[in-house]
Chains A and B, each alone.
Chain A
Amino acid sequence: MGGTSTKDGVLLEVRDLEMSIFADGGNRIVRAVNGLSFTLRRGRTMGIIGESGSGKSMTSLSILRLLPRGARILGGQVLFDGRDLVSLAERDLRRMRGRHIAMILQDPMVSLDPLYRVGDQVAEPLRTHQGMGGDALRARVIELLGAVGIPAPESRFNQYPHQMSGGMLQRIVGAAAISCGPELLIADEPTTALDPTVQAQYLDLLEELQQRTGLALIVITHDLGVAARLCDDVIVMYAGRAAEKAPVRTLFERPAHPYTQALLSTLPGRRAPDDIKVDAHKRLPTIEGQPPDLAALPPGCPFAPRCPRADAKCRTEMPPEVSLATDHSAACWYPTT
Chain B
Amino acid sequence: MVSFFLHRLRLALITIFGVTLLVFIAARLSGDVVYTLVDASAGQEEIDKMRRQLDLDKPVWLQYISYVGHVARGDFGRSIRYQRPVVEVIAERIQKTVQLGLAAFAVAVSLGISLGILAARTRGSLIDRAARTLAVLAQSMPHFWIGIMAILIFAVILRWLPTSGSGTWQHLVMPALTLATFPMAAIMRITRSSMLETLDAEYVKFLRVKGLAERLIVWKHALRNALIPVVALSGIQLGNLLGGAVIVETVFSWPGLGNLMVESIVSRDYPVIQSGVLMIAVFLITLNFLVDLVFGVIDPRIRYN
Q: Chain B residues near A96 (CB, 8 Å)?
A: 211
Q: Give complex CA distance A187, B286 in Å.
A: 49
Report yes or no: B205 in contact with A113, Cβ–Cβ below 8 A.
no
| Number of CB contacts from chain A to chain B under 8 A | 76
B126 at the interface (CB under 8 A from A): no
Nearest neighbor of B303 in chain A, beta-carbon distance: A160
**Among candidates B205, B210, B301, B304, residue contacting A98 with C-beta atoms closer than 8 Å:** B210
CB contact list, B260-303 vs A, under 8 A: 298-301
Within residues 199 to 218 of chain B, which ones have a CB less than 8 A from any CB in chain A? Answer: 200-203, 205-213, 216
Q: Is B224 an interface residue (CB 8 A)?
A: yes
Interface size class of A (residues with CB under 8 A): 20 to 34
- Quick check: A111 and B203 within 8 Å, CB to CB? yes
- What's the nearest-Cβ distance from chain B to residue A93, in Å? 9
Kindly list chain B residues whose C-beta atoms are within 8 Å of the C-beta of A103: 209
Residue of B nearest to A107 (CB): B202
Contact B221 A113 (CB under 8 A): yes
Contact code string A82-107 (vs B, CB < 8 Å = 1, else 0): 00000000000011111100110101
Asked if A105 and B209 make an inter-chain contact with CB atoms under 8 angstroms apart, the answer reads yes
CB pair A113–B225 under 8 Å, yes or no, is yes
In contact, A115 and B210 (Cβ under 8 angstroms): no
Q: Which of B201, B210, B298 has a CB less than 8 Å from the CB of A128?
A: B210
> B203, A95: Cβ atoms under 8 Å?
no
- A66 B300 Cβ-Cβ under 8 A: no
Q: Are B210 and A114 in contact, with the CB atoms below 8 A? A: no
- The interface residues of chain A lying within 8 Å CB-to-CB of B212 are 98, 124-125, 128
In the bound complex, do residue B221 and residue A95 qualify as a contact, i.e. CB atoms below 8 Å apart? no
Contacts of A110 in B (CB 8 A): 201-203
- Say which residue of B209, B298, B300 sits within 8 Å of A64 (CB atoms): B209
Q: For the complex, give the distance between the alpha carbons of A177 and B202 in Å.
A: 15
When distances are taken between beta carbons in the complex, the residues of chain A under 8 Å from B209 are 64, 66, 97-98, 102-103, 105, 177
- Tell whether, in the assembled complex, residue A160 and residue B202 are in contact, meaning their CB atoms are under 8 Å apart: no
B213 touches A94 (CB 8 A): yes
Indicate if the CB atoms of A125 and B210 lie closer than 8 Å: yes
Which residue numbers of A lie inside 8 Å of B, CB to CB? 64, 66, 69, 94-99, 102-103, 105, 107, 110-116, 124-125, 128-129, 160, 162-163, 173, 176-177
